[in-house]
Amino acid sequence: MELQLLDQLHSRRRFFPARQDMIYEGQIERSAYILASGWVCSYKLLPGGTRQVVDFQIPGDFLGLRSVLFRKADHNIEPITRVQASEVQVCDLLEAVNTAPRLGAALLWAASRDEAMVVEHLVGIGRRDAKQRMAHLLLELGARLKLVGLASNDGYTCPLTQYLLADALGLSAVHVNRVLRELREDGLVTFQQSKVTFGDFDGMVAFSKFDRHYLDHDGPLMTWPGGGPSSIQMLTGLPGP
């Protein structure tokens, strides 16, 4: 039954061009999306025009889940590349949760995982130096992409610009450039021509003290009677690693 419901949630597929907000702060019409392909960033604009990127979203991720029960969207969501996404209307989502309560628990897990990533970014900006912060983010993206079959321990394709990295890490673009050069010279990682290549994966993990537990990759601790797909696969509609 959950699968049928999720099929319905995935039925409204849409394409969005790069660099045009899918959701904007203050928006009242409440939709969320499940990302099928492409990359997206969520960000807040400050009065004065500076921007803080809160997180990047990759295929399989929910977009706008946080705002879906709010009166207004509290952040912006912008495609970094051309993206394909399933639109989920809040009434359909609530109805699905009413019919299949375990879906509610899976959504709560997804929201918790989103928050755990924002917490890591807060810890990074508050307490890690620029180089560790960058290494940590590149490892996090790799771990998340691996889960949906888009990365290996060697590396992954990454459309992020140095400006986006700067706005996510609280650095200047010049600083991002310098930090990436240092990581390359250390033999840890190379980020060139939209490709992240790990030179020394274990060295990266040790250097940035990356502990992937906060990603809780095995999904919510719930029993799904009769086996069936993992809740991650159920939520995302993706084949998994």
203 counts as binding a copy of itself under rule CB under 8 A: no
Does 112 help bind a copy of itself (rule: CB under 8 A)?
yes
Residue closer to a copy of itself (CB basis): 221 or 227: 221
The reply to whether 13 sits near a copy of itself by the rule CB under 8 A is: no
Contact 43, 134 (CB under 8 A): no
| Binding window for a copy of itself (CB under 8 A); candidates: 124-132, 140-148, 173-181, 184-192 | 124-132
Among 165, 163, 70, which Cα is nearest to 111's?
70
Single residue of 59, 142, 155, 220 touching a copy of itself by CB under 8 A:
220
Find the binder of a copy of itself among 15, 82, 101, 195 (CB under 8 A): 101
| 4 sits near a copy of itself (criterion: CB under 8 A) | no
The DSSP annotation for 104-166 comes to HHHHHHHHHHHHHHHHHHHHHHHHS-HHHHHHHHHHHHHHHHHHTTS-BTTEEE----HHHHH
Q: Is 67 in the site for a copy of itself (CB under 8 A)?
A: yes
Tell me if 1 contacts a copy of itself by CB under 8 A.
no
Give CA–CA dist 221/109, Å, rounded: 9
Concatenate the DSSP letters of all residues of 54-70 into one string.
Answer: EEEE-TT-EESTTTTTS
Nearest distance, CB of residue 138 and a copy of itself, angstroms: 18
The C-alpha atoms of residue 157 and residue 141 are separated, in whole angstroms, by: 10
Task: Say how far apart CA 74 and CA 141 lie, in whole Å.
Answer: 24
Task: Compute φ and ψ for 203, nearest 5 degrees.
Answer: -65, -40
Does 136 engage in binding with a copy of itself (CB under 8 A)? no
Q: Does 61 bind a copy of itself (CB under 8 A)?
A: no
For 158, the token pair is 């990454």
Q: Which is nearer to a copy of itself, 49 or 227 (CB)?
A: 49
- # chain residues binding a copy of itself, by CB under 8 A: 54
Residue ranges that bind a copy of itself, judged by CB under 8 A: 26, 30, 44, 46-47, 50-52, 54, 65-72, 74-75, 90, 94, 97-99, 101-102, 104-105, 107-109, 111-112, 114-116, 118-119, 121-123, 125-128, 170, 209, 213-214, 216, 218, 220-222
